[in-house]
Amino acid sequence: MGNAACLYFWLTTAMSPIISLYLNLLKPRHLKVEEVSHEELPQTYELKTLKLGNERLGFSRLPRPEGPLIWFHGVSLGEAMEALPMIKKCLEDRLSVNILMTTVTVSAFSVLLRSLPEGVICQFAPVDTPAAVDRFLTYWHPSVAIFMESELWPNLILATSSRRIPLALLNAKMSVVSYRRWSLEPVKGLAKEIISKFDLITPVNNMEAVRYQNLGARPHQVHFGGNLKYTSGAMDFSVVDGPVYHGLGKQMHGRQKIWLAASIHPGEEKVVVLVHQRLKVLFPDVLTVIVPRHPERGADIKHDTLEAMARRLGRSTTELGCQVSRRSLNEPLTVSTEVYIADTLGELAIFYHLVDVAFVGGSLIEGLNGHNVAEPASAGCAVITGIYVGHFQDMIAQMQTYSPLSVEQVSGEDELFDCVRKLFEDSRCRAERREAALAASNAAAAGRFHYGSSGLV
């Protein structure tokens, strides 16, 4: 172990009591899965509350099954969903294998409970302290460890490698800021040590490959497998919850002009509402569905939307209450609903399958980095996104190489309005855009899925 790694080890050891105290003092987290029956979950959990502190310290409430165990880790929802197609493929090809999926965020955990195949174990990952990591690895003793995107935790990686557990980093990426930080002395020595422990690194593009090689990845470690976010987008229709899908479909029945604003960040909903108001002039029955990136913002979004509508119509917000509905409160979606706020977790795929036109947010304001456009494309939506998309620009360029009509980028309110208006007015154009997006997503996903699912374990 190098000097930097030793220093990190002892610093995190010294901090362990404070971290443990903090995690033990955390209140039980309430997960919004009470409505899901035990039969629908891949394993039995207490649905009312979850004391995540113990799992973050390396403990588990679930038994370790006998036999080989493949460990997948995704820090949050996006990374975790990338692993789902590979998990399914592993289970198809190796019926006797056990799979453990770990994550860090409560939102990802809630969605994974409903999305993972039957028998897959799901729990929170340990914090990067020596004691928590040792406790976790001793209990689970995985046969293979597969991390998604950019999980470079020194204690976790070095301890896993020291136990001769093969390590893979899939869809590897690193922001410019992170790269600069890891390039500083003496941190660069630590980066080289932990990156060298991976048996396989699959970067999303050439630039990411160069960054990892500059930080110490050796040529034999790096193999190109493309962007696995294509495979997370290419989920089959079984991911969509049948009763929920059909229930929402009935509520939307008869509405001809529906568009979805997905993964919306603070500030973007104002643009979406302005576009909605302009569309309302041309299409009186327009329905705008907003899926916020952070569901807890649902109340604020409803308040701001009602305020904007009241100013436009010269009426009070109480008079307009029924025209804006929140899904988390089970408020009805009726013929008079103009804006439907889907402030819930794990239902975005359902809405992608219910609409023809989808705008992918996190992309209209400078400093944001976009979201996965392959997901709406794989559902057959005409796809729109903004120009601030970070790493996703490579995905967009590749999809546009397959078909220039697959994704359209807009810079703000006027271009977003014009794009949605044209898709509403021209059914032929809308059909062509939807077909192009689906074809581009399927073409891009085919090779990546085969490589990712069959070449690792």
Cα distance between residue 229 and residue 449, in whole Å: 10
Q: Which residues contact 7 (CB under 8 A, 6 or more apart)?
A: none
Run of H or E residues at 291: strand 287-292
Classify the C-alpha dihedral 369-353-378-113 as positive or negative: positive
**Do 163 and 137 meet the contact criterion of CB atoms below 8 Å apart?**
yes
- Dihedral angle over CA of 374, 378, 384, 390, nearest 10: 0
Hey, what amino acid is at 63?
P
Residue 235, strand partner residues = none
Classify the C-alpha dihedral 343-413-431-444 as positive or negative: negative
Is 151 labeled as catalytic in the residue annotation? Answer: no
Helices 130-140 and 3-25 meet at what angle, rounded to 10? 80
Catalytic residue, candidates 39, 40, 66, 79: 79
3-state secondary structure of 382: strand
3-state secondary structure of 289: strand
User: Would you name the residues annotated as active-site residues?
Assistant: 79
